[in-house]
Amino acid sequence: MIRSMSRAPRAGFRVGDRVHHREFGEGLIVEVRERDGFEVLEIAFPDGIRRLTSLYPLETARGQGRARPGAGSQTAATASATEAAPLSGGLAVPARTQFRVAGGSEDLFQTLRTGPYDDPRDFDLRLRIERFALHRGFDRLLSLDLLHDVQKYDHQSQACMNVLRRLRGRALLADEVGLGKTIEAGIILKEYLLRGLVQRALILVPASLVEQWDQELRRKFDLEFAVLKHGTAWWEEPLLLASMDTAKLLRHRDKVAAASFDLVVVDEAHRLKNQKTLAWKFLDRLAPRYILLLTATPVQNDLHELYNLVQLLRPGLLGTYRTFGREFMRRGDKRMPQNTGRLAALLSETMIRTTRASTSIRFPKREVTNVMFDLSDAERELYDNVTKFVRRVLHAHREPRRGAIKLTLLTLQKEMGSSTFAAIPTLSKLMAREGPGLERSEMEALLRQARSIESNAKMEGTAKLLSASREKFVIFTQFRATLEFLARSLRNLGMKVA
C-alpha cells in the first residue's frame, strides 16, 4: 500500500550535515537510511536524537551541510514529543510519539501511524521510531540493533556500558587478543553518535590498519569516515580516520588539534607508552572530551608504560611519575607491581580488561610445546661475549644519561636471543657511537665473530619440525633480519615460503 504511493525525490543528505528544524532547532545528522524514494534521518537535536524522514523540509544551519531541494514546500512530516516524562539529569523522554501531517503526504504518514502495513519495512520503521523515542539514558545500547555482521557477546556489551556509564567515555580497553576491542570501540562510538553526544570523531591507527578499520566501520557500523590524505580538505570532515604517523606530522598536527574532536579512538595504544614521544604529546594536546585507548598489552617492559597511558585518560589518577614508582613498582623488577589491591582499585576507574577465561566463548584449545635447541659452540661463544659487553657498557653509563644506550643494548641482547643475523645491524650501528665502555676494537671483534657464523641451531631445528609435517605453518619472529634469514634458508631447502 505504501510503496505504491508517490514519494518525494531523494534528498541526498549525508552523515555530518547540519540542519535546522522549525520545532527542534539545529541538529546534526548522525545516520542516514535509504528507503524507496526517501531517506530516514537520525538527527541529534539539543534535547536528544530524533528520527525523521527526508520528506520534511529541513534548512541548513550556518551555511553548513546541503539544503534539500524544495525546502520551501508545505509538505511536512515530523515526529513530535508529547506527554514528556522527566528522567534523571533533567532530561525528558516522550511518553509516546505522534506524527503530525500536512499537505500531500497525509495519507502516507497516516498509514505509517495506524497501518495496515503491506511492507514489513514500513512497520519496522514505525516500531523503531517509537522505541528510539523512549530511550534517552544509557540504560540500554541503542546501537546494538543497528550493527551488521557482528556476533554480539555479553562481555562486549558489559564493557561498553561500563565505559558509557561508569568511566564517562574515557577508558583503556585492554581485553586479551581476540575478544573484540575494535567492536567495543565501534559500539561506543556509534552510541555517542546516535545520542548526539559526539559530533566529531577521530580514529588514529597504525598505517597498516587504516584500510581494515575503514572497511569495518562501513560494513559493520554503517559509518563512513573520511581518510586523512594529502591534498584533501580532511579537517572539515566530522568523522576522520588517520594513521598516527600521518596525523602527527608538522603540516597536519595543528589542523587536527584545531578540529576539536569530541571523541578520539587510538588503536595499538601501547605505542604511546612513552610520554616523551611526539605521538604521546600530540594526543595529549588534542584533549578530547571522550577518549578510548585500545591495546592488549598495556605493559610490555615497565609499569611506567601503563602509567603513561592512564595519564592520557585521567591525569593525576596514579599520582606523579615518581610516587607511582615508589608505591606500585617492586624494586629490581619494573614489570611486577606491589600494593596490587590499591593499584587495581585505581585502574578500575579507567581500565577494562577482559580475559578469555572470564568469557563464555569457546576458543580452540591452545597447546604449547617448548622445543629446546642447543647452540653451536660458535653461537654460544658469541652470545656470552655479547652479554658480557652489554653488562659492562651499562655499568659504565650512569643514570640518567644512559637511557638511549640502554635501549640499544637491551635490543641487542634480545636480537641475540633471536638469531646472530638479527644482531649484526645493531652491532654495526654501535660502531659509530662513542661513550664509556664502547671500545671500538671490542665491537669490531664482536661484529667479525657474528658475521663468521653461517649456521643457526634454531633454524635447523625449525626446518626439521616443518619437514616432519604436511601442514601449513605460520612463523612469528620479532626481528626482520631473522625473518629474512629464515625465509632464505627455508627456500634453499626447497620449502615454499610466502
The DSSP secondary structure of 27-85, one letter per residue, reads EEEEEEEEETTEEEEEEEETTEEEEEETTS--EESTT-S-PPTTTT-S-EEEEEEEEEE
| Paired strand residues for 84 | 94
> What is the C-alpha separation between 351 and 6, in angstroms, rounded?
53
Is 389 among the domain residues? yes
Per-residue pLDDT of the chain (498 residues; tens, 9 = 90+): 233 333 333 446 777 677 777 677 777 777 777 765 667 787 877 666 777 776 555 554 333 333 333 333 333 333 333 333 332 222 222 333 333 333 334 455 455 556 666 666 666 665 555 555 444 567 788 888 888 888 888 899 999 999 998 898 999 999 988 888 999 999 999 999 988 889 999 999 999 899 999 999 999 999 999 998 766 778 888 999 999 999 999 888 999 999 999 999 999 999 999 999 999 999 999 989 999 999 998 988 889 999 999 999 998 889 889 899 999 998 878 888 899 999 999 999 999 998 888 777 777 777 888 888 888 889 999 999 999 988 888 887 665 555 567 788 888 899 898 888 888 998 888 887 766 667 788 888 888 998 988 878 888 888 888 888 888 888 888 888 899 888 998 899 888 888
Q: Which of 2, 234, 241 is CA-nearest to residue 114?
A: 2
Same-domain status, 45 and 165: no
> What is the C-alpha separation between 101 and 103, in angstroms, rounded?
7
> What is the C-alpha separation between 213 and 190, in angstroms, rounded?
14
Same-domain status, 349 and 267: yes
Same-domain status, 221 and 308: yes
Same-domain status, 345 and 384: no
Is 1 among the domain residues? no
The tens digit of pLDDT for each residue in 14-60 reads 776 777 776 777 777 777 777 656 677 878 776 667 777 765 555 54
Is 173 among the domain residues? yes
Same-domain status, 206 and 324: yes
Is 28 among the domain residues? yes
Number of domains in the chain: 3
Burial 204-228 (b: 16+ CB within 10 A, else e): bbeeebbeebbebbeebbbbebbbb
Is 83 among the domain residues? no
Other C-beta atoms closer than 10 Å to the C-beta of 455 total 11
> What is the C-alpha separation between 75 and 102, in angstroms, rounded?
6
What is the CATH number for 292?
3.40.50.10810
Q: Which three cell numbers stand for residue 439?
A: 671500545
Spatial strand order in the sheet of 18-21: 48-53, 38-45, 25-35, 18-21, 59-60
Other C-beta atoms closer than 10 Å to the C-beta of 316 total 8
Residue whose grid cell is 590524505: 229
Same-domain status, 394 and 344: no
| Cβ atoms 72, 56 nearer than 8 A | no
Whether the ω angle into residue 116 lies within 30 degrees of 0, i.e. cis, is: yes
Is 268 among the domain residues? yes
Q: Which three cell numbers stand for residue 488?
A: 632464505
Same-domain status, 426 and 309: no
Same-domain status, 350 and 389: no
| Cβ atoms 295, 269 nearer than 8 A | yes
Is 278 among the domain residues? yes
Same-domain status, 350 and 257: yes
Last residue of a domain, one of 358, 389, 409: 358
- How confident is the model at residue 104, as a pLDDT? 39
Same-domain status, 464 and 430: yes
Q: What is the mean pLDDT of the chain?
A: 78
- How confident is the model at residue 230, as a pLDDT? 64
Residue whose grid cell is 556500558: 161
Same-domain status, 328 and 454: no
Query: Which helix (H) or strand (E) element contains residue 352?
Result: strand 351-352
Q: Which domain holds residue 50?
A: 17-60
Tell me how long the chain is. 498
Rg (CA), the chain: 29
> What is the C-alpha separation between 269 and 273, in angstroms, rounded?
8
| Cβ atoms 248, 272 nearer than 8 A | no
> What is the C-alpha separation between 477 and 177, in angstroms, rounded?
18
Same-domain status, 254 and 333: yes
| Cβ atoms 415, 423 nearer than 8 A | yes
| Cβ atoms 148, 222 nearer than 8 A | yes
Amino acid code (one letter) for 242: A
Strands 59-60 and 25-35, by their bridges, are unpaired
Is 167 among the domain residues? yes
At CA 351, angle to CA 48 and CA 153, rounded to 5?
Answer: 70
